Amino acid sequence: MHEIKCPKCGEVFQVDESGYAQLLSQVRDEAFEEELHKRAEALELKSKGDLKIAQMEQEKSFNEVLNDKDKALADKEVEIQQLKNQIAMNDSEKKLAVSDALRDKEKEIADRDAKIIALNAKLKNQETESSLKEKTLEENYKNQLKVKEEQINYYKDFKARQSTKMVGESLEQHCQIQFNSIRTSAFPNAYFEKDNEVSTSGSKGDFIFREADEEGTEFISIMFEMKNEMDTTASKHKNEDFFKELDKDRQEKGCEYAVLVSLLESDNELYNNGIVDVSYKYPKMYVIRPQFFIPMITLLRNAARNSLRYQKELQVVRNQQLDLVNFESNMQEFKDAFGRNYRIASEKFQTAIEEIDKTIDHLEKVKAALKSSENNLRLANDKADDLSIKKLTKNAPSVRQMFDDLKEEGE
């Protein structure tokens, strides 16, 4: 049994186990309900406060997010506006660049068109000039060909009308006439005459050309040989048959160049094309046709005149070298003469020294003798100064008495 005391009246009740359990259960249920109710209310109040705080915090956070969104949206709008401005600027720049590019391109096209027009005009002019040159060259060639044919016909006719002897002589006359016709104007200071002096070998050339400058310095000399023969001559000569003899004549007459003026081998294209240099066989030798006679002289003479200054400079150098050799020779001669004179003078000087040494020895002896004599004279003078009547009459009392008497009489 369990006793239960009433809190109000103080009466004590006894309750069995079953009633006590029911009563305890009832009390627990009420207290629990009450506690639960209280806790539910507290929880509700707390939940409402927390909810309100959460709402406030959420509103604050939302407002912050909203502000951030607004700021971001404003920034985006600014950026969008900047992009729009940049796009507009880029469009302007692009339009300006396109405009400049189009203008440059149009200018380039215009310049190119102008160049094309100029090139076409130049090409047309060149074609015209080329056509004129071709016509001129063709006319010149025809004229030269005509002149050559006329010369060939002239020389053929010239040879046909003359004997073998006259052929050679007439070629010489022809060249001489050609030269004399321009001698005064082109070669006023030149010498051009027949080679009439037979050399030691018994041969001579046909003509010799020489020319000197205003100072008389020869700067060009040419030995000429003229060769021709009749077409009907049985034995045909060649130009090279005369090279050796011409070179020998050139050397014996002291000429610098040798020129063979020839009508031989008329069908040989080598000699028909112009001036032929055969210096590979003989030095400074040429073979020409008669029409190149004057041009050959002019060519060699102008080349020699151009080199005259260098020849003079070379001669000056040679003279300087000769002067240097003479100077060195004179210097060596002076050295030899000076050495010879110095050797002779040295020998005589040594002899003079020896004689002077001998004289010095003699004078030293004379000096010693003079010094000895001087000493004796000094001693004699000292003795003379020390001389007195007393000393003189030391051992002669009568003489001394005489001097005393004379002394007393004088007083």
Q: What is the pLDDT of residues 149-169, one digit of tens each?
A: 766 666 565 555 444 444 445
Give the pLDDT score at 255: 94
Contact 195, 208 (CB under 8 A): yes
What span, in angstroms and rounded, lies between the C-alpha atoms of 259 and 277? 10
pLDDT at 182 over 70: yes
How high does pLDDT run on average in the chain? 76
| Same domain assignment for residues 83 and 180 | no
pLDDT at 349 over 80: no
Contact 204, 198 (CB under 8 A): yes
| Same domain assignment for residues 269 and 187 | yes
| Same domain assignment for residues 62 and 187 | no
Any idea which residue has 């079953």 for tokens?
A: 18
| Same domain assignment for residues 167 and 257 | yes
Which domain covers residue 202, as residue numbers? 163-306
Give the pLDDT score at 165: 42
Contact 286, 260 (CB under 8 A): yes
Encoded tokens for 302: 């102008």
Encoded tokens for 159: 């040879």
Query: Which residue did the predictor score with more confidence, 188 or 46?
Result: 188
Contact 256, 221 (CB under 8 A): yes
157 belongs to a structural domain: no
What is the band of 363 on the pLDDT scale with cuts at 50, 70, 90? confident
| Same domain assignment for residues 77 and 194 | no
Give the pLDDT score at 162: 45
| Same domain assignment for residues 168 and 289 | yes
Query: Which residue did the predictor score with more confidence, 367 or 240?
Result: 240
pLDDT at 4 over 90: no
Any idea which residue has 């040419």 for tokens?
A: 222
268 belongs to a structural domain: yes
370 belongs to a structural domain: no
| Same domain assignment for residues 181 and 47 | no
Contact 249, 329 (CB under 8 A): no
136 belongs to a structural domain: no
Burial letters 58-83, b for 16+ CB under 10 A, else e? eeeeeeeeeeeeeeeeeeeeeeeeee
Domain boundary among 247, 279, 306: 306
C-alpha dist (Å) from residue 152 to 138, 148, 205, 286, 289: 20, 6, 25, 21, 11
- Region 283-289: mean pLDDT is 95
pLDDT at 69 over 90: no
22 belongs to a structural domain: yes
What is the band of 360 on the pLDDT scale with cuts at 50, 70, 90? confident
- Region 200-214: mean pLDDT is 84
At 261, give phi and psi (nearest 5°).
-90, 115
| Same domain assignment for residues 168 and 274 | yes
- Region 300-313: mean pLDDT is 82
Q: For 378-410, what is each residue's pLDDT tens digit? A: 666 666 566 566 666 667 677 667 767 766 766
Q: Give the domain CATH number at 226.
A: 3.40.1350
Number of domain units in the chain = 2
The single-letter code of the amino acid at 137 is: L
| Same domain assignment for residues 171 and 86 | no
What is the band of 294 on the pLDDT scale with cuts at 50, 70, 90? very high
What span, in angstroms and rounded, lies between the C-alpha atoms of 100 and 107? 10
| Same domain assignment for residues 302 and 167 | yes
Of 177-186, 230-239, 244-253, the poorest mean pLDDT is in: 230-239
Domain boundary among 48, 70, 90: 90
Give the pLDDT score at 249: 92
Any idea which residue has 């005393």 for tokens?
A: 404
Q: What is the pTM of this model?
A: 0.41
| Same domain assignment for residues 182 and 78 | no
At 228, give phi and psi (nearest 5°).
-155, 165
Of 156-160, 199-203, 250-254, 336-340, the poorest mean pLDDT is in: 156-160
318 belongs to a structural domain: no
Give the pLDDT score at 43: 73
280 belongs to a structural domain: yes
132 belongs to a structural domain: no
Domain boundary among 73, 90, 107: 90
